[in-house]
Amino acid sequence: MSSAARSRRTAGASLAVLAAVGGLVACSSSPEGAGSTSASQTAGGGTYTIWDPYPQHDKSSEWVKLLEKCGTDAGVKVERTGYDTSDLTNKALLAAQQGNSPDVLIVDNPVVSTLAEAGVLTTTEENKLDVSAIAPNLLAAGQSGGKSYGVPIGANTLALYYNKEVLKEAGVDIASVKDWTSLTAALEKVKAAGKKGITFSAIGTEEGSFQFLPWFWGSGASLTKLDSPEGVSAVALWTDWLKKGYAPNSVINNTQTTSWQEFAGGDYAFAENGTWQLANAKKAGFEYGIIPVPGKDGGTAPAPTGGEFVSIPAQSDTGRYTTSQKLVTCLTSTDNSLTTTTTLSYIAPTEAVQAKQVAATPDLQVWVDAVKAAKGRTSDDLGTKYPKISEPMWSAVQAALSGSKSPQEAMTAAQAAAASATQ
């Protein structure tokens, strides 16, 4: 069965999965450019369609100018449509069902495996896309069944922002914060000094799982065993912080945006947040610094990778792949990657471009280090199992933080639910 035919048969069954994976991290808000011309409508006219999740970038942006340049270099006209992330993934599945997928699809990394397993995407091997320079941990977020289904355009992840003045008043040397014990000791000092400790997002959505994962993985836990002693210890850490007043009860409902607003008020010592808040940090009105999320016993905890993959959807007219390959190669080339990652506020997926980013902006070094330690949520061949594990996990965190269950009870129930859902 051809991949195009397979996509039409199976894409519809995958729509439900996307509801659990949508609405993730630093994605844009409302779509611009309503409507688009499908690949089937333009196949004979030298026009190639590109769908991306960046509706905030209009025709005057560097991003759209790059898309148009790549089209010109390939000898074709590019027709681009920007969609909201959750809208885009649903439209991609529907388009595959109807046999009119775009030529190039740029999609949030957690749904790559869903689209791949539905037969929507071609592999990098099929279309001879060179991924040899891509960091393996970033490439893994777009792999399923040992095959790669696109090229990461960049990555963002999480770290800890800190308020230098708050720590100074509390007598905390940031260099002393190296693991969970020393971080908790710092929070204790901050509270004793009359300030607030740490804020984060523990909301009952994928956003909550995204923020919890550095602590979960940093404990040494695995997503296939939520109720391991390590996994329980991560929930216990957050729960203890709330009980002792080191973190506010508002984290239960906080999004990453609202937790950032709490930190930007100037009273908190720490906030867990992402690369995408750098511009806001510079406008906060106080001196700040950034450190990686520490592992339980030290070192940098693996934080989840955010960011998109540039993929080539399956087409009934396979002759289109040659030009699509040129477009993807152009968008992800070393020459263009610095422009792309700067425009989209990402860390580049290759060491060569990461070095250029740090040379231009030394403050990005901590984010480069965090991305190097980061991990894809669907990695370890979890693929479409991930959202079925993530929901019980965020539900367990909510139950523990609200006090309705102990950390052990919450994670035991979560493991049972995840095991049942992934059988």
How high is the pLDDT of residue 1? 39
Residue type, 81: T
In words, the CATH class of domain 158-303+382-421 is: alpha beta
How high is the pLDDT of residue 262? 98
In the block, residue with structure tokens 């955010």: 306
Same fold: 3-156+307-373 with 158-303+382-421: yes
pLDDT tens-digit readout, 309-319: 999 999 999 99
Cα–Cα distance for residue pair 231/351, rounded to 1 Å: 32
pLDDT tens-digit readout, 192-202: 999 999 999 99
pLDDT tens-digit readout, 341-390: 988 889 999 999 999 999 999 989 999 999 999 999 998 889 899 999 99
Other beta carbons within 10 Å of 253: 14
Cα–Cα distance for residue pair 138/85, rounded to 1 Å: 19
How high is the pLDDT of residue 131? 95
Is the predicted pLDDT of residue 17 greater than 50, yes or no?
no
Residues 6 or more apart whose CB falls under 8 angstroms from that of 286 comprise: 163, 164, 165, 266
How high is the pLDDT of residue 381? 84
- The token pair at 274 is 């992402």
How high is the pLDDT of residue 107? 95
Global pTM value:
0.84
Higher pLDDT, residue 20 or 64: 64
CATH of domain 3-156+307-373: 3.40.190.10
Confidence of residue 4 (pLDDT cuts 50, 70, 90): very low
Q: Which residue ranges make up each domain of the chain?
A: 3-156+307-373, 158-303+382-421
Is the predicted pLDDT of residue 333 greater than 70, yes or no?
yes
Confidence of residue 21 (pLDDT cuts 50, 70, 90): very low
Measure the CA dihedral 92/94/99/103, to 10°: -10
Of the ranges 27-41, 141-155, 178-192, which one carries the lowest mean pLDDT score?
27-41
Helix (H) or strand (E) holding 151: strand 151-152
How high is the pLDDT of residue 45? 47
Sheet holding 196-199, edge to edge: 196-199, 268-274, 158-163, 288-291
Residues 6 or more apart whose CB falls under 8 angstroms from that of 255 comprise: 201, 203, 207
Give the mean pLDDT of the chain: 89
Is the predicted pLDDT of residue 6 greater than 50, yes or no?
no
How high is the pLDDT of residue 292? 95
How high is the pLDDT of residue 380? 86
Nearest partner of 200 among 244, 263, 243, judged by Cα: 263
Q: Quick one: average pLDDT of 328-336?
A: 94
How high is the pLDDT of residue 29? 31
Is the predicted pLDDT of residue 38 greater than 70, yes or no?
no
How high is the pLDDT of residue 277? 93
How high is the pLDDT of residue 40? 37
pLDDT tens-digit readout, 394-411: 999 999 999 999 999 999
Query: For the chain, what percent of residues have pLDDT higher than 70?
Result: 89
Of the ranges 4-13, 208-217, 299-308, which one carries the lowest mean pLDDT score?
4-13
Alpha helix stretches (DSSP H) within 140-251: 164-170, 180-192, 206-218, 229-243
pLDDT tens-digit readout, 247-291: 999 999 999 999 999 999 999 999 999 998 998 999 999 999 999
